[in-house]
Structure 1
Amino acid sequence: MLSRTADSLFWLGRYTERAANVARGLSVASRMAGLTAELNHEGDEWRALLVAAGCEPGFFQKHREVTEEAVVDFLVRDPDNPSGIISCFAAARHNARTVRTALTVDMWSAMSDSWNHLRRIGPADFQGEKLPGFLEWVRERVLLFNGASMDTMLRGEAWLFVQLGTALERADNTARLLDVKHEVLESAAESTVAHGQWQAVLQSFSALRAYHWVFRDRITPARIAELLILRPELPRSLVASFNRVCEVLDLIAAEQDGRRGEPHRLAEELRAQLRQGRIEDIMEAGLHEYLTAMIINTAELGEAVQAFYIRA
């Protein structure tokens, strides 16, 4: 496979997953802002979301203060934000067009239809009361694309690079979203607001029902962290994401006569760290420190993939 083809497929997977992740972040910020409004801290939730998305510097280049309307607009439709939902779909569609012949009809239709809808929307279509419905639509469109990929694409290198981008982006988002909420999860104080915030964190990963299925007990911060970091049963957990990254890298190596390199070493190292981890040790050493290191390591792995497969 040509390196430029692998690059387009890799980023097609990353950008589609990123669009859904931004939608998830907006959903949880909206819920948590409502919960903390009585404490006059609702603006903190929107600023935390900007930090989690890596968009805070760009936001303050255009806005003087954090408001719900400004943050939502910046993370949905601002053309100067490359991590905004519409920008992600635009970049994903561009990469899809570049490798059109490698995609199935269903994959292309899912991406093209989503983009044709998004390019016509305005603020009135996603602000205020329409925000939850719009965010759910975004998540459904990404699920449709991912489902088309899983159900219709040949299991060759093209499919593997899409899967690699998706899994790596998912790992990065899980670490970022958990890190920005680390104070909520490190607090031992129980209250109605705290419990609502814990539920909102789980809902952002579509994991509230999964939590009760796995633990069959009341919600506690340490168990939330354990579920989202160390439990392989949850598809969006860190360990599940890196399990998938390693599986895909192994399959790509098999397609290339066993060729392996730095991405494989880094991915295996991160997976081993997660498999051997204990939530008690992580919480005692500091959840923020652990997740910050994981974000840095995930970025290094992404760079290693680019260097080994795309720029080599």
Structure 2
Amino acid sequence: MNQEADEIIAGHDLTGKETIVTGGYGAVGYETAKAFAGAGARVVLAGRDQGKGEAAAAQLRAATGNDKVVFRHLDLASLESVTTWARKHAATGRPLHVLVTNAAVMAGPLTRTADGFESQFGVNHLAHFAFTLGLLPCLRAAGNARVVCLTSSAHRRGDIDYDDPNYERRPYDPWQAYGQSKTANALFSVGFTARHAGDGVTANAVMPGAISSGLQRHLSADDMRARGWDDRSGWKTPSQGAATSVWAAVTPELAGVGGRYLEDCAIATPWTQDGSPPRGHYLPYALDPDNAERLWRLSEELVG
């Protein structure tokens, strides 16, 4: 049975805690932010759409009675925006207890970020890579801080092409590009934890499940039917999708634990058999330490 975000947060008091949720004004991000706000945390919604962000912050303040919910503009398609945002936040000196890198784009046509990266790899991975590292002083200051990286079962669509991650030479495939970016999100949690667990900061990857959201905006009705997505009766609600993100942020089970792939409020297991992995499983390359190290070096090189 799918759990709801409010079930997971029940009994947790986040008063005095600082949280940031990228893409926190839509679907899973909104429900994640709502759970944090309802538990008393200060919640920063970070995203590109000023109108939606301000409206969501107002709705969350009204729904939870928590006036410490704010929106701050962040353009993940621009490293300048990402690094400037992180630097300004770090300058406040506020410890950051939970960072949820929730925002993403999926299966769109080939476009590039302001810095020339293929948009899915650039927005979903590289921007969050730079953003998290820019906020590292705040995470360290919190002590026992957690980073929650949204990944997807779409990581099964492909490992990382380390020689051409931005489709400068190979033919572009929107779904393979999305899968690559989601593999990168999972590997980031491994590389980050390896480097910073000793600082009291860990990261885990979260597979939220199939949820109707803005992620499908690039898909036509024919695309949805071809994938069997016109019948969404088995899909999770946004609150159910947010449950694992909230669990990753607050459960005592993950204290000091990072580099895991989480699904359905549990630690998933690797799938080494033939065929498509069932729920609660991931392909081993998505958490492989050597892959994580290789991706980390590549990401450092690309973001400078």
Structures share a fold, TM > 0.5? no
Q: Which has the higher strand share?
A: 2
Structure with the bigger percentage of helix: 1
Structure having the higher Rg: 1
- Which structure has more relative contact order (CA 8 Å, sep 6+)? It is 1
Taking structure 2 as the reference length, the TM-score comes to 0.31
